[in-house]
């Protein structure tokens, strides 16, 4: 949610600045009648962005490799967005005013259409970036959290733009973009690292158990990057707190004005320190929660099954739910751990508590998701039984009467494929 909020806030503020600069310039030059065309361009850009978001949402990406490519693309977009703003920040206002003045020289209708198209293209750029980046963020986060974060970010961006151009909110835009750029680089790093992990999981690139174990728990643990982002924010705020210099005494000011400036200086330092302290407190809280979760997530005890005539039988009446049921059986003189799950279509699937990449690290269930204990990969339940990637190694089984039957030879053969 935090990543979505930050991306939406940054993109929204950039769009709000563009619209605000155009409106202020038209008002200052006596062309207020063209403001309606500006809002028409904004409305069209928002509608196109929303349509693109709906289309991307309907495009259900299920292949790990394609998810990885989308995340890498989103990471590149974040970096280019930051580089673009840093490159043109100082000349943005003059460039926008120059373009608007060029359109405004034409007849009223032609000027309005030109300005509307200019605003449309500029806002659509921000909207398209926002949609693509958030779609990638959603692939590694809870969908509802992404929508909540996006809504909050856009709301804050609209409020910032409105109050800023009304003069009721004083924001040092240079510092705002510097801090958000630093934090968004963390978001880009997360997206890039997650994209590499997805490509490794799909075996589109080389992968190993060590690589998956190193990257996986980082990219799959949303709290990790939540804490990192908060930490970066806390450091940025503390830097501003320490860098803030006491206003120099100005003899030209009367005593009341000097007291007002002194009060604003103390208020700014108090708020900065409080915000940094809050960020650090949240970091400690989530760190404790992460440590507790790791400790509490011990492997489930497997039920040991005794084979008869080279086969093990599991009554299906105990598998009616959609939970993982863990078992073990002796095959070729050693215990082999596996699980059985009932899929949504009613089929019973048996698989080793292991995969080709992460070995015998095993899996755990988290709600409706099956999670690899080594790399944190979330396994799509309907794909269990399919070989490859971080999917559990399937074991041939069959339903006979009211029992699920596994041959020890099939169990031993699947176990021999795991390194």
What is the mean pLDDT of the segment spanning 202-212? 69
Final residue in a domain of this structure, among 276, 296, 316: 296
Alpha helices in 89-172 (DSSP H): 92-104, 108-139, 143-166
Cα–Cα distance, 41 to 106 (Å, whole number): 18
Residues 160-201 have pLDDT tens digits of 777 766 655 566 666 667 777 777 787 788 788 878 877 877
Q: Is residue 321 part of a domain?
A: yes
CA–CA separation, 408 and 191 (whole Å): 43
Could you tell me if residue 376 is inside a domain?
Answer: yes
Indicate if 340 and 364 belong to the same structural domain.
yes
Place 117 in a pLDDT band, splitting at 50, 70 and 90: very high
Do residue 180 and residue 236 come from a single domain? no
In a domain, 283, yes or no: yes
Is residue 282 located within the same domain as residue 137?
no
The string of pLDDT tens digits covering residues 168-179 is: 556 666 666 777
Same-domain pairing of 310 and 241: no
Structural domain for 245, as ranges:
221-296
Closest by CA to 74, choosing from 163, 123, 134, is 134
Whichever domain contains 335, its CATH number is 2.102.10.10
Model confidence over 361-390: pLDDT tens digits?
889 887 777 888 777 777 778 778 877 667
What is the tally of helices (H) and strands (E) in the chain? 11, 11
Is there a single domain that holds both residue 281 and residue 382?
no
Same domain flag for 292 and 324 = no
For residues 165 and 274, state if they share a domain: no
Total domains present in the chain: 3
314 & 237 share domain: no
Measured between alpha carbons, how far is 178 from 92 in angstroms, rounded to an integer?
16
Quick one: angle between helices 64-88 and 2-28, nearest 10? 40
CA distance 303 to 197: 33
Among 296, 329, 360, the domain boundary falls at 296
| pLDDT tens-digit map of 78-108 | 888 888 877 777 777 888 888 888 888 887 7
Domain membership of residue 122 (yes or no) is yes
């Amino acid at each position: 949610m935090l990543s979505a909020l930050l991306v939406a806030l940054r993109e929204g503020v950039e769009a709000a600045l563009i619209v605000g600069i155009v409106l202020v310039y038209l008002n200052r030059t006596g062309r207020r009648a063209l403001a309606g065309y500006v809002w028409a361009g904004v409305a069209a850009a928002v509608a196109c962005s929303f349509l693109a978001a709906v289309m991307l949402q309907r495009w259900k990406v299920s292949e790990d490799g394609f998810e990885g490519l989308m995340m890498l693309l989103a990471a590149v977009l974040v970096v280019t967005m930051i580089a673009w703003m840093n490159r043109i920040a100082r000349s943005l206002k003059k460039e926008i005013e120059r373009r608007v003045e060029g359109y405004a020289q034409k007849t009223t209708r032609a000027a309005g259409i030109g300005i509307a198209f200019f605003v449309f293209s500029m806002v659509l750029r921000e909207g398209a970036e926002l949609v693509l980046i958030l779609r990638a963020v959603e692939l590694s986060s809870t969908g509802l959290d992404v929508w909540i974060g996006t809504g909050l970010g856009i709301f804050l961006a609209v409020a910032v733009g409105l109050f800023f151009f009304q003069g009721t909110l004083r924001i040092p835009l240079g510092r705002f973009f510097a801090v958000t750029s630093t934090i968004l680089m963390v978001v880009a790093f997360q997206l890039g690292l997650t994209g590499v992990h997805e490509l490794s999981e799909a075996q589109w690139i080389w992968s190993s158990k060590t690589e998956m174990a190193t990257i996986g728990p980082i990219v799959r643990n949303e709290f990790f990057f939540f804490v990192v982002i908060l930490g970066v924010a806390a450091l940025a705020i503390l830097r501003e707190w320490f860098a803030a210099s006491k206003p120099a005494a100005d003899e030209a000011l009367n005593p009341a004005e000097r007291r007002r400036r002194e009060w604003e200086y103390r208020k700014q330092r108090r708020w900065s320190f409080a915000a940094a302290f809050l960020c650090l407190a949240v970091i400690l809280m989530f760190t404790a929660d992460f440590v507790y979760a790791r400790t509490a997530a011990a492997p489930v005890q497997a039920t040991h099954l005794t084979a008869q005539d080279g086969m093990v039988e599991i009554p299906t009446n105990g598998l009616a739910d959609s939970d993982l049921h863990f078992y073990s059986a002796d095959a070729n003189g050693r215990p082999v751990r596996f699980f059985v799950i009932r899929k949504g279509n009613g089929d019973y699937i048996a698989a080793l508590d292991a995969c080709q990449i992460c070995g015998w690290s095993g899996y755990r269930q988290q709600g409706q998701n099956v999670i690899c204990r080594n790399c944190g990969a979330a396994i799509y339940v309907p794909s269990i039984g399919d070989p490859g990637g971080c999917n559990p190694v399937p074991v041939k089984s069959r339903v006979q009467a009211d029992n699920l039957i596994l041959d020890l030879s099939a169990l031993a053969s699947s176990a021999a494929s795991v390194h």
